[in-house]
Amino acid sequence: MEGLQWGNGFDRHFFHLIRDHSMQGFYGSPRHGGNRNNVSYKMMKLDYPVIIGQNRYNLKSDGK
Amino acid sequence: MGNKHVNAIVVGAGAGGGIVAKELSLTGLSVVLFERGGWATYDDTDTDELRSQRTTVLGNGYGPDDLHYKRVVVNNDGSTTIVLPSEGSYNNIAACVGSGTVSYGAMAWRFMQEDFKLKTTYGSIEGSTLEDWPLTYEDLESCYEKAEWEIGVAGDATQNPFGAPRKKPYPMPPFSHNREAKLMVDAAKRLGYHPFPIPMLRNSIPYHGRPACIRMRTCCGFACPVNAKCGTHNTVIPIAIGSGNCELRINSVVSEILVNDQGKITGVTYFDEKNNKQNQTADLVVISASATETARLLLNSKSKFFPKGIGNENDWVGRNLQGHAYTGAYGIFEEEVYDDFGPGASVAISDFNHHNPGIMGGGVLCNEFIRMPYLFTGVRPPGAARWGKEHKTFQRLNFKRVAQAVGPYQEIPKFESRVEVDPTVKDFRGIPVVRLSGSRHEKDIEGCRFMSEKAELWLKEAGAVHTWQSVGGGKGLSGGQHQAGTCRMGNDPQTSVTDKYGRIHAVPNLFVADGSLNVNNGGFNPVLTIMALGFRVGGYIAGEWLKGNRFK
């Protein structure tokens, strides 16, 4: 593969692979072992787990 | 123990094939419908973004899988790369009953009148095989109507002054807009554009015994948990099977079309679900396997009567491969525009679809389906950090504040963009694989720039404080889920593969019914046109059959 050289101690392809896998773990479903307790979704203020179709409603009794 | 002879074989249970199977089986023909995948359900993938059909880092949620399939891509420098179905350059189409209609975004566009006569409208373009269709919009209008009513479309055509004329309204009312779409509707009106609700193959009210959409954030790229999305898997295919005349044979891969010693098509060879090779004979064969796989099957069917593959006497099978150059813009808003009211895309403008100065065609522009968190990691303005703390901060601050206006630019067809079969590489079953080569027409990028400018203007008017364009139409090969064009319809057998009813020229009993037939691909998602062509080809065969024609 072109550019797969470690001469200067840094490989672009390898770095991108690690970067992609890190983001897949952090932003992907917790079923894969990352994103524990939906931590990234909480960070993005995204309601999880998905109650199918109904997350846009506020289900708390106090309405807040 | 051989298979019982049937009247018709349909290869591929997707948008085109499912409809053909229903048309033929209800007419009384005995049909075997082959599908390389199985039945897919919501539970197979759930809301797992990483194995959906839209973000495929862990494989295609709805197939095909990386173990049994591969392709060869010819790079611009002439070198070749073997690619797997979950890689973008594979140009994948889902492998399951219903194919892409299970997990699609479900936009239900009719092409415009101009789309059927691009050469008449725009003249010849250098380096392009631009041509008129052998049929007009009016010839296909009743088939569009059947697709809209039998599969099910929600929309309001009266709000789109640029839509082609039609006899009946959509069977279901349009979808309401979410917060983002409302902003964009108002902005489009202020700009003098003509916003309208995107027609959707999705139930806005209960229809055909299935419930209304529950507005999930996951829809495009996923199956529907309540069966509100309308595909061939939950409409025409169950009807075909219910007729008692259609056998659906899943996990079965057709490898070759059978030709007898008089040069007649007699059926197909296929690998059953245990990967045993079998034959199925029939009076006629319809191929609906997608623009890439239909071409592969024809090219893999070599015999002394068809030394270059069936229908390929003039080297046109596999030519003119095209998809869409997706082009548009992003905008960041000060306020949150995300209200978790899915699936997202609901407003469109068709103001820039034809008759734009200096460019061929154009396309529809829409707001976009909700981008799930991992997909959003790639949404960044030019120069923004692609990793690290700054990237994460952008994710936190802007996930709910970014909107996109985007659309499919109608590409200029090129003879050099093509599907072949690779001379050496074979798949798991030993079938020679698809080999893809070519690139987009150099003028595509001009049309994309034009559309992206309009998209950016639209977002700015809607209140975006920071905008940037994402311009499509680059040098690469085009195909993807919108792949089309490889078995072009035409009146002249020298410059097309099938006649205007999808029949392979000079072969009485072999038809094509999928996007391969498209002479060009419209400035729209093509699925409703593929469905309409299914009704046209299936309806033609059924009508002839009733008249006593046995296609001998």
Q: Does the pLDDT of residue A64 top 50, yes or no?
A: no
Q: If pLDDT is split at 50, 70 and 90, which confidence band does A48 have?
A: confident
- Average pLDDT for chain B: 97
A19 contacts B387? CB cut-off 8 A = yes
Chain A residues with CB under 8 Å of B396 CB are 43-44
Number of domains within chain B: 1
Chain A residues with CB under 8 Å of B50 CB are 24, 28-29, 32
CA of B439, closest CA in chain A: separation in Å? 22
**CA-CA distances (angstroms) from residue B46 to A31, B52, B103, B221, B469?**
11, 9, 12, 11, 32
Q: Is there a domain that residue B180 lies in? A: yes
How far is residue B134's CA from residue B304's CA, in Å, rounded to a whole number?
A: 30
Q: Is there a domain that residue B390 lies in? A: yes
We report the CATH number of the domain holding residue B406 as: 3.50.50.60
Q: Is there a domain that residue B494 lies in? A: yes
Confidence at residue B43, expressed as pLDDT on a 0 to 100 scale: 86
Looking at chain B from residue 123 to 162, which residues have their Cβ under 8 Å from any Cβ of chain A?
none
Digit-coded pLDDT (tens) for B176-208: 999 999 999 999 999 999 999 999 999 999 999
Confidence at residue A9, expressed as pLDDT on a 0 to 100 scale: 65
CA B21 to chain centre: 18
Residue B354 token pair: 């034809």
Mean pLDDT computed over B20-43: 97
Q: If pLDDT is split at 50, 70 and 90, which confidence band does A1 have?
A: very low
Confidence at residue A47, expressed as pLDDT on a 0 to 100 scale: 83
Instruction: Tell me the three state secondary structure of residue B113.
Output: helix
Q: What angle do CA B178, B108, B406 make, to 5 degrees?
A: 55
Confidence at residue A7, expressed as pLDDT on a 0 to 100 scale: 61
Mean pLDDT computed over B252-259: 98
Residue B98 token pair: 């219903």
Q: What is the residue-wise DSSP string for B392-418? A: HHHHHHHTTTEEEEEEEE-PPP-TTSE
Q: Is there a domain that residue B1 lies in? A: no
Q: What angle do CA B114, B117, B120 make, to 5 degrees?
A: 105
How far is residue B374's CA from residue B56's CA, in Å, rounded to a whole number?
A: 11
Q: Is there a domain that residue B114 lies in? A: yes
Q: B195: which DSSP letter?
A: -
Nearest chain A residue to B394 by CA distance is A44
Any B CB within 8 A of A55 CB: yes
Q: Which of B48, B57, B399 sits opposite A46 (nearest CB)?
A: B399
Looking at chain B from residue 326 to 365, which residues have their Cβ under 8 Å from any Cβ of chain A?
339-342
Confidence at residue B47, expressed as pLDDT on a 0 to 100 scale: 86
Confidence at residue A33, expressed as pLDDT on a 0 to 100 scale: 93
Q: Which residue is associated with the tokens 């094509």?
A: B512
Confidence at residue B438, expressed as pLDDT on a 0 to 100 scale: 96
Any A CB within 8 A of B205 CB: no
Strand-pair partners of B175 = none
Least confident piece of the model among A41-50, B82-91, B457-466: A41-50
Instruction: Tell me the three state secondary structure of residue B277.
Output: strand
CA B20 to chain centre: 16
Any A CB within 8 A of B41 CB: no
- Beta-sheet pairing, B80-83 with B464-470: unpaired
A44 contacts B216? CB cut-off 8 A = no
Fill in the amino acid letter for B200.
M
Neighbours of B92 (CB within 10 A): 27
Sign of CA dihedral B3, B9, B12, B15: negative
B375 within 8 A of B442, measured Cβ to Cβ: no
Q: Does the pLDDT of residue B353 top 50, yes or no?
A: yes
Q: What is the residue-wise DSSP string for B43-72? A: HHHTT-GGGSSSS-TT--TTS--TTT--EE
B177 within 8 A of B347, measured Cβ to Cβ: yes
B294 within 8 A of B516, measured Cβ to Cβ: yes
A24 contacts B57? CB cut-off 8 A = yes
ipTM: 0.91
B61 within 8 A of B51, measured Cβ to Cβ: yes
Nearest to B12 by CA among B21, B23, B24, B22: B21
Q: If pLDDT is split at 50, 70 and 90, which confidence band does B406 have?
A: very high
Q: Which of A2, A21, A22, A27 to mutate to test the interface with B (most CBs of B within 10 A)?
A: A27
- Percent of chain B surpassing pLDDT 70: 100
Any B CB within 8 A of A37 CB: no
Residue B5 token pair: 């002879």
Q: If pLDDT is split at 50, 70 and 90, which confidence band does A51 have?
A: low
Mean pLDDT computed over B276-299: 98
Confidence at residue A55, expressed as pLDDT on a 0 to 100 scale: 58
Any A CB within 8 A of B399 CB: yes
- Average pLDDT for chain A: 78
As to burial, measured by CB atoms within 10 angstroms (0-12 exposed, 13-18 middle, 19+ buried), residue A51 is: exposed
Fill in the amino acid letter for A64.
K
Q: Is there a domain that residue B444 lies in? A: yes
As to burial, measured by CB atoms within 10 angstroms (0-12 exposed, 13-18 middle, 19+ buried), residue B317 is: buried
Residue B54 token pair: 């839209």
Digit-coded pLDDT (tens) for B68-106: 999 999 998 999 999 999 999 999 999 999 999 999 999
Q: Does the pLDDT of residue B482 top 60, yes or no?
A: yes
Q: Is there a domain that residue B179 lies in? A: yes
Any B CB within 8 A of A51 CB: no
pTM recorded for the entire structure: 0.96
Q: Is there a domain that residue B552 lies in? A: no
Q: Which residue is associated with the tokens 């309405």?
A: A63
Q: Does the pLDDT of residue A49 top 80, yes or no?
A: no
